[in-house]
Amino acid sequence: MAYISWEYYSSLYSEVQEEDFDGLCAKASAKLDVYTHMRARNFEVAFDPETATDFQKLVHTQIQNTVCVDKRPVCAGDFRHGNRYRLCKQCRLFGIL
């Protein structure tokens, strides 16, 4: 399951081409699943925009935006040091770890 669609991504950013998007998005989504222990995916599966609270809507938007931080689908960091994460140069992800 991808957290974002091409339509959502391309409405905000233009750095990644459409033909590269699916592969990069799949990688970013898989990394997010690993680092959130599937909590983000479980939240998205249960998310219903019709009945969601304002807070749940904000969490949904943050999950989507986390996948496309730095104007492209990114990984959630590849290097772990002790209890702190060092984020790879490619991703520069913040807030989710």
pLDDT at 45: 94
**Residues spanned by the domain of 69:** 6-86
Residue 1 belongs to a domain: no
Residue 46 belongs to a domain: yes
pLDDT at 28: 85
First to last CA, the chain: 20
Residue 73 belongs to a domain: yes
pLDDT at 56: 93
Residue 97 belongs to a domain: no
How many Cα neighbours within 13 Å face the side chain of 52? 16
Domain count, the chain: 1
Q: Is the pTM of the predicted complex or chain greater than 0.75?
A: no
pLDDT averaged per 10 residues in sequence order, the chain, 97 residues: 87 84 86 89 94 93 78 43 43 42
